[in-house]
Amino acid sequence: MPKEFQDAAHQWCSETIDAMTRQIHPVLSAFTTETIDDFPVDEDNEAVMLAAPLEASPSMRFFKFGHRLIVTVDEVRDFDVDALLTTLYAMADDIGGQKADSVIGLIEEMCEANGQTIASPDGDVYEGILEALDTMEIDFDDDGRHDLSLISGTDLTSRMAIRPPTIEQQLRGRAILERKHAEWRASRRRRELP
Where are the domains positioned within the chain?
A: 3-113, 125-192
In tens, the pLDDT along 100-109 reads 888 888 888 8
Give the pLDDT of residue 73: 81
Give the pLDDT of residue 173: 93
Residue 69 to residue 86: CA distance in whole angstroms: 12
Residue 65 to residue 174: CA distance in whole angstroms: 40
Residue 16 to residue 85: CA distance in whole angstroms: 10
Residues 116, 59: contact at Cβ < 8 Å?
no
Residue 152 to residue 27: CA distance in whole angstroms: 10
* Ranges of the chain with pLDDT below 70: 1, 34-60, 120-121, 190-194
Give the pLDDT of residue 107: 83
Render the chain in DSSP notation, one character per residue.
--HHHHHHHHHHHHHHHHHHHHHHSGGGGGS----GGGS---GGGHHHHHHHHHHH-TT-------------HHHHHTT-HHHHHHHHHHHHHHHHHHHHHHHHHHHHHHHHHTT-----TT--HHHHHHHHHHHS---B-TTS-B-------HHHHHHHHHSPPPHHHHHHHHHHHHHHHHHHHHHHHHHH--
Residue 95 to residue 86: CA distance in whole angstroms: 14
Give the pLDDT of residue 194: 57
Give the pLDDT of residue 121: 62
